Structure 1
Amino acid sequence: MTSTWIAAHRSAVIDPYEAFELFEARGFTDQTVRQSLRLAGGGEALRVRFSNRYGKEPLRIGGAHLAVRTRASRIDPTSDTPLRFAGAEDTTIPVGEELVSDPVELPVSAGEELTVTLYLPGDTGLSTYSAIPYDVGHAVPGDRLSAEVLEDAEELSTGHYLTGVDVLAPEGTRIAVAFGDSWIEGAATTPGTDNSFPAQLGRRLTRGWIVNQGISANRLLTDAVGDHLLSRVDRDVLAVPGVSHVLVHIGLNDLGLPGTLAYPEPATERPTAADLIAGLRMLAARLHAAGLTVVASTIGPYAGAVYPGYDSEAGQAARREVNSWLLGADHPFDGIVDAAAAVADPARPDRIRAEFDSGDGLHVNDAGAKAIAAAVDVTLLDL
C-alpha cells in the first residue's frame, strides 16, 4: 500500500512581539524544554515540525529527542530517540523559517502521547509560541535531553517552537483542520485531556481525524493575538498535508476585544455584522477555491463575560445578526454547526449555560466542548 505524509498534530503560533500581549512572551538560555502532544492519527513513521517564524535571531537547537510520555515531564527511557535534521543531531533554524526533522521509523497510533525535548544552548530571544499547548510543558537549566524526568522543573503554560507532527499514513487518508479562536483551540478545557471541541468531535469520526489550528483571542479581520484568520489560510490550512475539510469558529474577539480595558481600541472600530459576513464570505471563497469542504459554526454566547468591556450591546446585536445569517439559506458554507445553541442558557440565550461555563462567561469547559461536539452532524465531515 502506498503511503504519504499526513498531519497528525498541529499547534498554531503567535508573534511574541505583538503589541497586545494576552499571554506572557518568554525565551530560553541554556535550558532543556520538554513538551508533550497527543496524536490525532497514526502511521508507520513520523516527522516533527518546528518554527522560528517570529524569532529575531537564528534559533540554535543543540539537540532534540522524541519519546513516549508516561506522565508530567516523565518519559519512558527505553523509547528515547534523538531527532535528526539532515542527518545531524543539532541544527539552527533561520529567522522566519520552519524546520522538519528527518523521518523516524516508529509506528504510532491515534491517541498516543509523545514528548519532544529540546536543548536550547544559547539565548533564544522571545520564542515563537502557542497559546494553549496540549499540556503543561517543563523547562530546566542545562542539557537534560535524555533525563527520565525533569526534576524541579519550571512549568510552561504556553507552547514553544513545536508546531506539528506528520505521520506516514495510507495514501488517501483525509483530515479536517479546525480553524479559529479559543473555542477551537480549547482554552479553559482541562490541560492534558484532549477535551477541546475538535478533539472530542474527532473521537466520533469513523475515519480520518481532526488537527487543531486555533489561536485563543484570534480574530477574523484584524491582527490581535496571532495573525488574523484570513491571513492564516495559506499557512495554517492549505499547507497542512491531507486536509480536505475545514471546521471554523471565529468572530467572538472581533466583537469583544475592541473597547476592552485590556485592548482599548475605540468602540467605533468594532466591526459590524456586515463586516463579519463579508469576511466569512471571503474565507469560504478562498477555501472552496482550494477544493476544500468548509463547515462553519455560529458564534458562541458570551453575555456576562467577566472581562471588562468585552460584552457590549453592539457586539451582541452583531453576533445575533451573523448567527441568523449562518442559520439561513444565504451563507456560502457546506454545513453549519450551531455551537451557540448547543451551549446556550435556554432562558438567556446570549449566555453560556452554567454547567457548560468555564467560570468566565466566555469559554466553555470540558462538558461544554462535549456538547458542541455532540451537536455536529458527522456526515458533514465525510473524510
Structure 2
Amino acid sequence: MNMSGSTVRRSGVALLSAAVLAALPVLPVLSGGPGDQGATAYAAEAGGGHAEQHATGRWRGGWAASPQSPNVAFGQNWSETGFARQTVRQVVRVSTGGSQARIELSNRYGRTPLKVAGATIARTGQGASVQAGSVRALTFGGGRSATIPVGGELVSDGVGLKVGALESLTVTLYLDAPTGPATFHAQAGATSYRAAGDHHSDLGAGAFTETSRSWYYLSGVEVAGGRAAAHRDGVVAFGDSITDGYGATPDTNSRYPDELAERFAAAGRPRSVVNQGISGNQLTNDTSWAGEKAVARFRKDVLNEPNVGTVIVLEGINDIGASEWPDLPGGPTPDVSVGQLIAAQRELIREAHAKGIKVIGATLTPFKGAAYYTERGEIKRDALNDWIRTSGEFDGVLDLDRALSDPADRDRMAAAYDVGDHLHPNDAGYRAMAEAVDLSTL
C-alpha cells in the first residue's frame, strides 16, 4: 500500500527501536489522495510524530473515542468475535465543522494486521441510512484499501465534505478478511450497525440488520477548513464513565462533553471538544475491561490529538471505589492512597504542560449510596478534592462536586441529577456539569 498521503500512528507498543528511529530520515510533506493537501506519512512511537508535527496544523478533532481491548464486561458486543466479509456502519457527531474530513482507525489491541477493504464517510440520514449526494469514498495514501499493523493507528486522506458544527456523520467500513478480536470502544451510547457482505457505499439501511452500542476501530474524525482558529484551542475531556457518558440517554449526544460543545456553538464560536473517557477507567491501575490506566494512556489519547489547547481531567473515583468492591469484573483492584492519586494527577499535569497544554482539574463527583461507596472511600475523595481545589497546581478548577451535590448532604448526588445508581449523572446532571464550566478558562 502506498502511504504517501495518510498518516500512520504507532500506539500501544514500540514498533521501532529508538536507534532505528534516530536513523530514519525526516519525511517530507507529500501530496495525498483526493482532497488531501499534504498529509504527512511517518512511523513514530506513541505520543510522538503526529502530536508534534500537527499540534498547530490545520486539522482539528471533531470527534474521538478512546480505544479499548476486546471484552464483554458491559454486555455482549462484536469485539471478541470481530468481523469477516461484513460492513460496520457507525454514527458520530462532530463538535466543530469544516470543509474537509478524515478519519482515524485504530488496531491498538488487535492480534493480527487489520485490512480495511473499503471506507466511506457521509452525512447521517435516519438510522443506518445516509444522505444522498454526501457519500465520499475514503482513501489511504491514495488507495481504497489499507492494512493497519498490530498496535498501529492510521489516518485516512482528507476528503472534501462540508461539515457543520454539531452535525452527525456516518463512517462505514467494509472488512473483508477475518479481523480477529477487534479494538473497540465499549460504551458508545450510540447505535452502530452491521451488514453481511460489502455495503460500505449503500445509501439505504436495509442491509444493516444487526445493531450494537459500541464503536469498532473508529477512534477519531478530524476536520479542516472553515472558520478555523489561528491558535490551538481544542478541548479534550479525559476521564472515566462520567466523562464517557454512562447513563445518558442513548443516541441523544447528552454526555457532558457533548453539552460543552453545544455551549460553544450556542455562543457562536464552535470549538473542537472531544471525549476521551473510558467507563471504569482508573488513574493508577490497568484493567482488562476498562482500559490502560490514565497515566499510561494520556499520551496516546490526549497529547496525540491535533490542535489541543486544554484538557479537563476527571479521574480517580474508580481507583477509590474499585479497591472496596469485590463484584467488579476481575475482582477488586489494589488499594490506592490519596498520595498516589495526587502523584498521578501531577504526572498528567507535567506531561500536558510539557506540550503547552492547559490542565483543568475537575473535582470528583459525589458517590454516597453507590455500590462501592464506603466511609473510607469518602475520606479519600474529600482529601483529593481539597487538593484539586487548593493546590494551585492546575491551570483552573472545575468544581463538579459542588455542581452535582445535594445541598442537604454534600456527599450525595442531588436526586435531580442522579441516573439512579448514585454514581452516574442523568441527562440533566451531564448538562449541569457542562454549565459549570467557565468557558473563558478553556
| TM-score exceeds 0.5 | yes
Match of 1:14 among 49, 52, 68: 68
Farther-moved stretch of structure 1 (254-263 vs 33-42): 254-263
- CA deviations on 1:287-340 (whole Å, 9 max, x unpaired) are 1122111101100111212x4xx2222211101111122222x24101111111
Question: 1:286 and 1:201 mapped to 2: Cα distance?
Answer: 24
Match of 2:393? 332
Partners of 2:174 and 2:231 lie apart in 1 by: 36
Matched position secondary structure for 2:158: coil
> 1:179 maps to what in 2?
238
Within 2, Cα distance between the matches of 1:122 and 1:359?
43
Aligned match of 1:213: 276
Corresponding residue for 1:277? 342
Native 8 Å contact 2:189 2:213 kept in 1: no
**What is the SS of the residue equivalent to 1:341?**
helix
Q: 1:266 to 1:366 in 2, by over 3 A?
A: closer
For residues 363-378 of structure 1, the aligned pairs below 5 Å read 363-378=424-439
Name the counterpart of 1:262: 328
CA deviation string 1:130-150 (max 9, x = no partner): 122262101121112222114
For 1:377, give the aligned amino acid.
D
Q: 2:281 touches 2:294 (CA, 8 Å); kept in 1?
A: yes
For the Cα contact (< 8 Å) 1:144–1:150, is it kept in 2?
A: no
Q: Does 1:115 align with 2:187?
A: no
Distance 1:172 1:290 in 2: 14
- CA–CA distance in 1 between the matches of 2:399 and 2:107? 36
- Aligned with 2:138 (options 83, 98, 105): 83
Query: Which of these residues, 282, 302, 316, is aligned with residue 378 of structure 2?
Result: 316
Q: Deviations over 1:131-182 (max 9, x none)?
A: 2226210112111222211446211111100011111133435211111111
Q: Count matched residues.
A: 373
Quote the Cα distance in structure 1 between the aligned partners of 2:75 and 2:300: 22
1:342 aligns with 2:403: yes
Letter in 2 for 1:4: R
CA distance in 2, matches of 1:231, 1:331: 24
Distance 1:117 1:266 in 2: 38
Tell me if 1:40 matches 2:95.
Answer: yes
Residue in 2 that maps onto 1:289: 354
> CA deviation digits over 1:342-367, x for unaligned, max 9?
11122222222112111222110110
CA deviation map 1:240-274 (0-9, x unaligned): 1110111110011111122331246567x221212
Match of 2:25 in 1: none
What's 2:36 paired with?
none
| Kept after mapping to 1: 8 A contact 2:130/2:170 | yes
Conserved in 2, the CA contact under 8 Å of 1:3 and 1:168?
no
Partner of 1:166: 222
Q: Find the counterpart in structure 1 of residue 212 from structure 2.
A: 156
| Rounded Cα–Cα distance in structure 2 between residues aligned with 1:344 and 1:93 | 45
- The one-letter code sitting in structure 2 at the alignment partner of 1:370 is R
Scaled by the length of structure 1, the TM-score of the pair is 0.92
Cα separation, 2, equivalents of 1:263 and 1:156? 21
Residues 351, 292 of structure 1: alpha-carbon distance in 2 compared, 3 angstrom cutoff:
same
Gaps of at least 5 residues in structure 2 are 1-55
Distance 2:420 2:208 in 1: 31
**How far does residue 372 in structure 1 lie from its aligned partner after superposition?**
1.2
Q: Percent identity?
A: 39
Question: Could you tell me which residue of structure 2 aligns to residue 249 of structure 1?
Answer: 314
> CA RMSD of the aligned region, Å?
1.9
- Determine the C-alpha separation between the residues in 1 that align with 2:165 and 2:253: 12
Distance 1:161 1:264, change over 3 A: closer
Runs of 5+ unmatched residues, structure 1: none
Tell whether the 8 Å contact from 2:240 to 2:314 is kept in structure 1 after alignment: yes
Offset from partner CA, 1:80-135 (integer Å, 9 cap, x none): 22111122212211111111111101121211111011111122111101122262
